[in-house]
């Protein structure tokens, strides 16, 4: 399901549930709007699970697991247990809206360098193609198709590699820590991970869950191997009697400023407000990091394209003048 579709789905559910519509009625109203196939499948799966007597979270795990991520399940479970389901849906709607905007910015930044890369491959070959066409020779298309094939092979390989690394980073603390060190991209990952952690922790607090459960659910929903491991270690320390902030400070993975904020909020009894504030602040920071990446990554792409075009022009001119010099020497 697309990010925009998820944002729309949860926004509509939040609107209906917040207006005291029964969830069954809300699902039927949304199905009557003839939604997209993915949203329809999600709604029908939830409807089927509720008809079988299951809870909302259990229904989604059973029938909609393909379309529902860990973050969604954690927030919906917390909303279901606390009776604040509308708030959970609103949280998810805002999250997916922000993530959709971030992805659109990233794609928009990549498109122009991609066009320049293709032009950088094709344009230097145009003089040779025109000359061959005028002289009735076979067109040297290999000089165009081979670089384009190599370009697309590099792009596809990079995409698949990054996809694999991201999935590994969600499970492995070591991989996640290395990915976090990548300039520009690492900051985006860290801020989104902490935003997800704080958002789920806040929802779990409202559901009056045990602190160990809050910590583990938030860590699992963060999509960060580092925060996942740190949350498990912190949960064990909390179960042994340590404070929340003390447990976070004793493990590796939580930003020190975040730990200090949790410490003062724990003493003041405002931990739920602190987590909500961090969730909002980190979402803003994540969007800012995406904008910085969108500004600088195209510039790097432009530089690579300029270097390639310069190389092709120099090679073409060297071949041209080299041929002339050989003819002069022959005379």
Model confidence at 131, pLDDT cuts 50, 70, 90, reads low
Query: Element (H or E) spanning 320, and its range?
Result: helix 271-330
Where does the pLDDT of residue 90 fall: very low under 50, low under 70, confident under 90, or very high at 90 and above?
confident
Q: From 285, 279, 284, 286, select the one nearest 87 (Cα to Cα).
A: 279
307: left (phi over 0), alpha (psi -120 to 50) or beta: alpha
pLDDT over 70, % of the chain: 86
In a domain, 39, yes or no: yes
How many domains does the structure of the chain reveal? 1
Does this model's pTM top 0.85? no
pLDDT over 60 at 204, yes or no: yes
Average pLDDT on 243-247 reads 90
Across the chain, what does the average pLDDT equal?
82
Domain for residue 41, yes or no?
yes
- Predicted local distance difference test score (pLDDT) of residue 128: 65
Choose the weakest-confidence range: 8-12, 107-111, 199-203, 282-286. Answer: 107-111
Model pLDDT, residue 134: 65
Judge whether residue 166 has pLDDT over 70. yes
Is 109 a domain residue? Answer: no
Among 129-143, 210-224, 226-240, 284-298, whose mean pLDDT is lowest?
129-143
Q: What is the DSSP string of 14-69?
A: HHHHHTT--HHHHHHHHHTT---HHHHHHHHHHHHHHHTT--HHHHHHHH-GGG--
49 inside domain: yes
Helix axes 56-63, 37-51, angle to 10 degrees: 120
Sign of CA dihedral 253, 255, 258, 263: positive
- Does residue 173 form part of some domain? no
Overall average pLDDT of the 154-161 stretch: 88
Domain boundaries, position 53: 3-68
Residue 180 lies in a domain: no
Is there a domain that residue 37 lies in? yes
State yes or no: pLDDT of 321 exceeds 60.
no
pLDDT tens digits along 283-319: 888 888 877 877 777 677 777 777 776 776 676 666 5
* Domain-embedded: residue 90: no
Positive/negative CA dihedral, 147, 152, 153, 154: positive
| Bigger pLDDT: 52 vs 103 | 52
pLDDT score recorded for residue 62: 87
């Amino acid at each position: 399901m697309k990010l925009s579709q998820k944002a729309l789905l949860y926004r509509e559910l939040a609107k209906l549930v917040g207006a005291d519509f029964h969830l069954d009625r809300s699902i039927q109203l949304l199905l009557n709007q003839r939604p997209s196939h993915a949203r329809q499948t999600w709604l029908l799966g939830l409807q089927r699970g509720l008809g079988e007597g299951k809870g909302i979270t259990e229904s989604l795990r059973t029938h909609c697991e393909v379309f529902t991520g860990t973050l969604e399940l954690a927030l919906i479970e917390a909303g279901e247990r606390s009776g604040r389901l509308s708030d959970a849906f609103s949280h998810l709607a805002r999250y997916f809206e922000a993530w959709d905007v971030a992805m659109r910015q990233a794609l928009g930044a990549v498109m122009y360098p991609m066009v320049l890369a293709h032009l950088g491959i094709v344009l230097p070959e145009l003089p040779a193609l025109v000359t061959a066409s005028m002289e009735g020779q076979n067109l040297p298309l290999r000089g165009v198709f081979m670089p384009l094939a190599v370009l697309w092979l590099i792009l596809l390989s990079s995409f698949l590699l990054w996809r694999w690394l991201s999935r590994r980073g969600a499970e492995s603390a070591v991989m996640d820590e290395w990915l976090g060190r990548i300039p520009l991209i690492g900051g985006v990952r860290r801020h989104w991970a902490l935003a997800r952690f704080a958002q789920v922790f806040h929802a779990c607090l409202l559901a009056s869950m045990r602190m160990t459960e809050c910590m583990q659910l938030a860590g699992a929903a963060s999509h960060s191997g580092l925060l996942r491991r740190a949350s498990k270690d912190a949960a064990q320390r909390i179960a042994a009697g340590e404070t929340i902030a003390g447990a976070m400070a004793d493990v590796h993975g939580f930003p020190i400023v975040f730990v200090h904020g949790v410490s003062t909020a724990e003493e003041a009894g405002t931990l739920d407000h602190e987590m909500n504030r961090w969730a909002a602040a980190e979402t803003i920071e994540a969007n800012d990091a995406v904008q910085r990446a969108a500004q600088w990554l195209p510039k790097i792409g432009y530089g690579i394209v300029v270097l390639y075009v310069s190389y092709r022009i120099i090679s073409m001119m060297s071949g041209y003048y080299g041929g002339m010099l050989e003819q002069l020497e022959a005379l």
